Each structure stands twice: as C-alpha cells, then as structure tokens.
Homo-oligomer: A and B are copies of this chain.
Amino acid sequence: MKKYILVFCLFLLPLWGGRVGFLYSVEKVESPSLNLTAYFDVQEGRPVYWLLHKGDTVIRPSYLGLALRGEHSRGEFNDYKDESNSPQDGLSTLSDSGLSSLSVSGLLNGFVMTGSERFIHDDWWTPVWGEERRIHNSYHEMLITLRQPAKDRYIQIQFRLYDDGLGFRYIFPQQKNLNYFVIEEEQTEFALPGDITAYWIPGDYDTQEYEYTRSKLSEIRAIQEKTNKANLSTTTFSTTGVQTPVLFKVQGDKVQSTKDHTLWLNIHEAALVNYSCMHLNLDDKSFIFRSHLTPDIDGTKGHIQTDAVSPWRVVMVGETAKDILASRIVLNLNEPCKIEDTSWIKPMKYVGVWWEMIAGMRDWSYTWDFPSIHIGHTDYSKAKPHGRHGATTENVKRYIDFAAKYGFDGVLVEGWNIGWEDWFGNEKDFVYDFVTPYPDFDVEVIHDYAKSKGVKMIMHHETSGAIRNYERWLDTAYQFMNKYEYPAVKSGYVGNLLPKGERHYSQWMNNHYLYCVEKAAKYRIMVNAHEAVRPTGLCRTWPNLIGNESAQGTEYQAFGGSAPNHTTMLPFTRLIGGPMDYTPGIFENDIHKLNPNSNSWCNTTLCNQLSLYVTLYSPLQMAADLPDNYERFLDAFQFIVDVPVEWDEPYYLEAEPYEYVTIARKQKDTDAWFVGSTNGYDPRTAFIDLSFLPDGRKYTATIYADAKDAHYKSNPQAYTITTKTVTSKTKLKLFTAAGGGCAIKIVPKQ
C-alpha cells in the first residue's frame, strides 16, 4: 500500500523581492521517527540547507545551486579550482563565492522562495534480488519552489528525510525561460561539522580502483600529494578531491545525541541518470565539501533539457556503523522496477576462465603472428597459436565440469573472441566485433556441453573504451548471446575512451552504460559492467544490472596485492550504491606458483576469502581461483559450494570500518544461515551473537576459522573447520587473524 499524502502546502508570494530572511521562519522537515531534522532557507537570495541529528549538527548551513554556462555575472563566478585556498569558517561568504545579491549568476542566487509543500510516504517494496525480501520506504518530503525574478524562471529542490538520512535533488521544470542549459558546475555544499575522520579514495574522472585511506579531513591534501598513483587509467582533479560513497565518523563534543558521542555519515548520490557523476572537493579550511561533476569533452559538466531532475544527493546518518550497512536510502530514492517480467533475472554463483589470465599464467590472446589485428580481415585460421590462450574449448569444458560438479550456476570466459592481441592502448576504434570466437573456442560445442551439464555460460564484452564501436555491435552481440543462451554479460571499459577526451563518469558515458542495460533488458540479458560508473541504486529500477566493479577488486591481489583491510571498507562505501562483482575466493596466495614472473601475494587468509561471500553482498558471486586450487582445499571449498546468492534477511553483527565487519544472512526460502567476519590488519576475536536465530531450536554450525597462527602473509592457509551445536542464545568468540576472517554455516540440527 502506498501512501503519498500532501500534508501541507504553502505558496509564499514574492513580496519581499530578492531579499528574504527574517520575515518568516526557516522551512524544516523531520524524519518519521523525528531523529533527523532538515532545514531550508533562502539567505541573501541563495538556497541554504542544514541537517541535525537529535540536536547535533551533522551538516552545517550549506549552499545549494548550479553555475551555468554563459550565465556568469561580470567577473563574479569563481572557478572552484581556487576554492581550497579560501579560508572559511561556516557558510562560504558572499565575497568568497563572488556572488552578490544584486546580480544573478546561473542558478546560484537571486532566488525567492515561492512554495513549500510537505508530503508523507510510507510503504514497502519487494526487490527482485537483494539483501532482504522487502524494503521499507518511509520518508517525509519537503518540496521547495524557488523563483528567480530577474530571469523569470524557477526551479525546485526536493528534500526527502528518512530516519537513516537525507536525500535531496534539484528539479528543473519545463518552462518558457528554462529549456536547455549547460552546467558549468554544480555547487552543492556539504559543510561537515569539523575536522572529522573520513574514509576516502581520491576523486577521479576515470577510475575508482583505489585503496581507502582513513584520515582527518585536514590530512587529505597532504596524503594525496604524497601518494600519487597516476597511471593510464587515472584522472584526478584535486588533491582534496574524493569520490562517493565517502564515509565519515564524527566523534567527541559535537555529538551529544549518542552515548558514545559518535555518529556515522556517508555522502553519495542516488539515481544517476543522464547526468554527470558527482565527486566531492574539500575546502580543508572550512571543512566544506562541494560537488565537483565529471566534465564532458569540452569541460562543461552536463547538458540539461527540462523537465529534468538531478540525481539525489544523499547524506546517510547512523548512530553506529551498522546503521550505514542497514540503510536502504539509496535504493529507496531510485525509481521502482521498470522491467515488467523479471522472471529471467536470477542471481548466479559462477566460476570462470579469468584468474589464470589475471595472474599471468595464460593470455586472453591467441597468437603472436600479427603485428596488429584487423577485425574482419585478419585471418586467424592460419595463425600459429602461441599456446598460452586461456579460452580454449578444452579448458572451458574443464570449468564447466567443475561448475557442474559443485553446483555453480555459470561459467565466465574471457578472451573468447578475436581481437585481444592489440586490444589496449592504441586508441583503436574497431577493436572487437563481440561475435567472432577464436579458432580454438567452439561456441556451439561449448553451448551444447554446458547445457547438457546444466551450466549457463557467461558472456564477456571488453569494449576497450571504444564506445561507438560497442554501440554499433550491441544488438548483434546481444542477439548472439540469445542464440547461444548466455543469460548474462560481463562488460568492460578498460583504458582511454573513444571519443577521445570523454571520461568514464561523464554524462555522455553514464548515458551509454544505462543504454546498454536498458537494451539488455529487452533481450533478457543481465549486465555486470566493469570500469563503468559506480552504482547509485539503479539496480532497483533495472534489476538486470546485476553487478558492477567500480572499486579495487580481487584482481589487484595479482597486481601487487591489496591492503589486508580493503574488504573491511567496501560494505560501508562502494556497496552503498549496489552490488560489486568483487570476485572473491582466492585460496592460493602465492601468485608466483601460477606465474613464475609474478611476485604478487594475495594479502588475506583463506578464511577471510570465505567470509567475503557473506560480508560483500552481491547477487553475482564468483569463485575466482583455479579449480586445481579449490581441489587442494575441498573441505574449505565446501563453504563456497554451500553459500547461496539469494537471501531473506541480513543481520549486521559487528562493524568498525577499516578494522572489521561481521554479517549474518538468512538464506532465501530456507532455514539456513551464513555468517562472515572479515578482519583487517589487527588480529582480534570476533564476537558473534547468534540471537538472530529463531528461539527454541538447536542448530549445527560449521565454523571455518583462521588457525591461531594464521596470518595473511606468513600463514594464510591455516584454518580449522569445526562443527558445533548452537542456539539463539549462543555467543561465539572466534579468532580472526591479521587479514583474516571466519565463515559459518548454520542449519537446523537433524
């Protein structure tokens, strides 16, 4: 049942011209349980909002608005490149921002409030897949109408206040004097309550593949100046730039509303559609983050045609870090599912011909015969194979056998199609056709074989960033998938984009990613897009968007190794927007054993890898290691075999980002529970309270735990497997090593 009630509607006549302030009280809205209060005001013609948690300020008064191309007042638009040099103690001042109330610049100032409406919404909805069966969507809305008399036009700002956070967005109604405009920069502010702790990765137009830093806001600049990770894929824009979702811990005097004087915040965006991806740039004197959109080819930040809305800007607020995990505000702010029949969308657990290439043991390519490849002209049939090709029919059959034996749903194969010999770094347009297999990959045979074994094949479309080429081939490629019954595709966007100068997270590209997802839905295809823009809850609307990468995944364990605590951050940051195809399950830490030229080391224990199947929620979970490596540890592998990808309910048991996270989940439609505890640098004892189990029954817990001497570096494969009878009263204490973890399967006692 959906309630959508107009509670209160006030239209203020703009009697006071451009000047408002003391003639009426500020607008406010409270969350359903009254824990959060958001305020809105127009001050000197500029929209301002702030946010309180039970009296504690979590967002100080912060300006809203957008600078538009061609709408600067004379010399009065300050480029944000200079912003971090302007010391500020609260609201950025008018002189700092270069705006006076006498001249109107873009959609930044000269506003009067002409309307303020209130709505209440409270209902539940059922996701096609997700962490739980039903999601509660309850908010109070405040819809502000702002008129710019000097331009004879208006916009709206829509605030939705949930108990777990604030969402707001700009609405640009269609009207005579506001039809088409170009965003120079969105200037949304998030004025944080002081020099708080942030968990962040650098702002970047092209990649999110970074490790997280925990630091004070005031330390961000120096850290970024010191640790420049520039490579072919990175495009940073400021040493105080960060990406969303970005997590914050507020502690101390400023927090009176919680016992431990701690609050958790997370800033992200929801429903990124036909708009540029938002980064945040910090003024590290005033601790104000300002939105910084990804530029288009010509440096502008997005083309808008009214009617239009911006994505939602989201400030999540939690009294504990577990509250951040439990929040569904990002999903709730997205539109309901647009796919009518979703019966074909099915979570999958899969293996694949992938890790052997990532580790450098095999190649995506087939031959060294050609200086370069011309799709459609290069004749592979006469080429001499170099013998390192991974995607051979024979090898794929081995994976199909393995998948069938252990009950995996699918097999991914990368490097199956021609073109990989020079796929990267050449600004090459026609790099793949997405339908022509290598001579040693027999698509018919593999299709028939997989089908006979009850296994689905997962398609792979690397685009190499050649966007026009991919769109030209998209229908043909999807039709090919339909013909050979591939239910899902992993797509990739490695390298610089064509058209040149385009960025991975620009409006143009975001439009492309969604185009692929929408078209895929027509073909009943699920999409798992790597190197695409980070998710913003669009999987609610398009649940065939079954996964994304958009963070540093397991592959980095073969590229030098990830930080042991990397996965303790992901649930609080990257996963806020949607599931990640993290590809866990590496049992053999020593990549040198796979590839003599590599000295990479997987910086986790084996039990840590097991825990990720529970702590990193995804409807798409890979068992990424080689079958041989699993068969060496079949007892531990059993957990991966058992762990499902469909769930009824989550239980967030322990959470300290950067340190550890412990989550339990109930398997969908089954009396079985799975627990994962993922640990960071410091050995600790996980405290696992099983009170989530139904009372009055006994259960068998199979516990996969780090051995006492386990360590991610020196002894990662030391684990114990024990079984224990447990009840809802049981409180387990389990050792988790440095870079370690534990995993538990719980089923009713027979």
Query: Interface on A for B, CB 8 Å cutoff?
Result: 174-176, 179-180, 182, 296-298, 303, 305-307, 370-372, 374, 422, 426-429, 468, 471-472, 475, 499-502, 508, 511, 515
The reply to whether B471 and A427 form a contact with Cβ atoms under 8 Å apart is no
The reply to whether B305 and A372 form a contact with Cβ atoms under 8 Å apart is yes
The reply to whether B499 and A426 form a contact with Cβ atoms under 8 Å apart is no
The reply to whether A372 and B515 form a contact with Cβ atoms under 8 Å apart is no
Question: A176 to B371, alpha carbons, bound, how many Å?
Answer: 6
Select from chain B the residue with minimum beta-carbon distance to A372.
Answer: B179
The reply to whether B429 and A306 form a contact with Cβ atoms under 8 Å apart is no
Question: A372 to B179, alpha carbons, bound, how many Å?
Answer: 6
Given the known A-B contacts A174-B371, A297-B297, A471-B472, are A303 and B180 also in contact in the complex, defined by CB atoms under 8 Å?
no
Contacts of A374 in B (CB 8 A): 305, 307
Given the known A-B contacts A303-B427, A305-B428, A468-B468, are A297 and B174 also in contact in the complex, defined by CB atoms under 8 Å?
no
Shortest Cβ distance from A144 into chain B, in angstroms?
22
Question: A670 to B221, alpha carbons, bound, how many Å?
Answer: 83
Select from chain B the residue with minimum beta-carbon distance to A173.
Answer: B371
The reply to whether B182 and A501 form a contact with Cβ atoms under 8 Å apart is no
Contact of A499 among B179, B422, B502 (CB under 8 A): B502
Additional pairs, 13, CB under 8 Å, beyond known A180-B372, A305-B374, A499-B499: A174-B372, A179-B372, A179-B422, A179-B426, A180-B426, A180-B427, A182-B427, A298-B500, A305-B372, A305-B428, A306-B371, A307-B374, A475-B475
Contact of A179 among B176, B179, B371, B511 (CB under 8 A): B371
Question: A428 to B180, alpha carbons, bound, how many Å?
Answer: 8
Contacts of A174 in B (CB 8 A): 370-372
Question: A174 to B369, alpha carbons, bound, how many Å?
Answer: 12
The reply to whether B515 and A508 form a contact with Cβ atoms under 8 Å apart is no
Shortest Cβ distance from A369 into chain B, in angstroms?
11
Q: Can you give 17 A-B contacts (C-beta < 8 A)?
A: A179-B426, A180-B422, A180-B426, A182-B427, A297-B499, A297-B500, A298-B501, A303-B428, A305-B428, A306-B371, A307-B374, A429-B511, A471-B472, A475-B475, A499-B499, A499-B502, A499-B508
A175, A176, A305, A427 — which one has the most chain B CB atoms within 10 A of its CB?
Answer: A305
Contacts of A303 in B (CB 8 A): 427-429
Contacts of A508 in B (CB 8 A): 499
Select from chain B the residue with minimum beta-carbon distance to A373.
Answer: B305
Contacts of A429 in B (CB 8 A): 303, 511
Question: A256 to B502, alpha carbons, bound, how many Å?
Answer: 57
Select from chain B the residue with minimum beta-carbon distance to A300.
Answer: B500
The reply to whether A371 and B175 form a contact with Cβ atoms under 8 Å apart is yes
Contacts of A179 in B (CB 8 A): 371-372, 422, 426
Question: A307 to B296, alpha carbons, bound, how many Å?
Answer: 33
Question: A511 to B472, alpha carbons, bound, how many Å?
Answer: 12
Question: A192 to B501, alpha carbons, bound, how many Å?
Answer: 39
Shortest Cβ distance from A376 into chain B, in angstroms?
12
Shortest Cβ distance from A467 into chain B, in angstroms?
8
Shortest Cβ distance from A296 into chain B, in angstroms?
7
Question: A508 to B468, alpha carbons, bound, how many Å?
Answer: 10
Contacts of A499 in B (CB 8 A): 297, 499, 502, 508
Given the known A-B contacts A297-B501, A298-B501, are A305 and B426 also in contact in the complex, defined by CB atoms under 8 Å?
yes
Contact of A472 among B371, B422, B515 (CB under 8 A): B515
Contacts of A307 in B (CB 8 A): 374
The 9 closest A-B pairs by CB, nearest first: A180-B426, A179-B372, A499-B499, A298-B500, A179-B371, A174-B371, A297-B500, A297-B501, A303-B427
Question: A508 to B500, alpha carbons, bound, how many Å?
Answer: 11
Question: A303 to B430, alpha carbons, bound, how many Å?
Answer: 12
Shortest Cβ distance from A308 into chain B, in angstroms?
9
Shortest Cβ distance from A316 into chain B, in angstroms?
32
Shortest Cβ distance from A434 into chain B, in angstroms?
16
Contacts of A502 in B (CB 8 A): 499
Question: A499 to B297, alpha carbons, bound, how many Å?
Answer: 8
Contacts of A372 in B (CB 8 A): 174, 179-180, 305-306
Contacts of A298 in B (CB 8 A): 500-501
Select from chain B the residue with minimum beta-carbon distance to A474.
Answer: B472
Question: A215 to B306, alpha carbons, bound, how many Å?
Answer: 50
Question: A180 to B371, alpha carbons, bound, how many Å?
Answer: 10
Contacts of A296 in B (CB 8 A): 500
Select from chain B the residue with minimum beta-carbon distance to A69.
Answer: B427
Question: A363 to B205, alpha carbons, bound, how many Å?
Answer: 43
Question: A296 to B501, alpha carbons, bound, how many Å?
Answer: 11
Question: A619 to B236, alpha carbons, bound, how many Å?
Answer: 55
Select from chain B the residue with minimum beta-carbon distance to A377.
Answer: B307
Question: A175 to B370, alpha carbons, bound, how many Å?
Answer: 9
Shortest Cβ distance from A491 into chain B, in angstroms?
17
Question: A298 to B427, alpha carbons, bound, how many Å?
Answer: 12
Question: A422 to B429, alpha carbons, bound, how many Å?
Answer: 32
Contacts of A370 in B (CB 8 A): 174
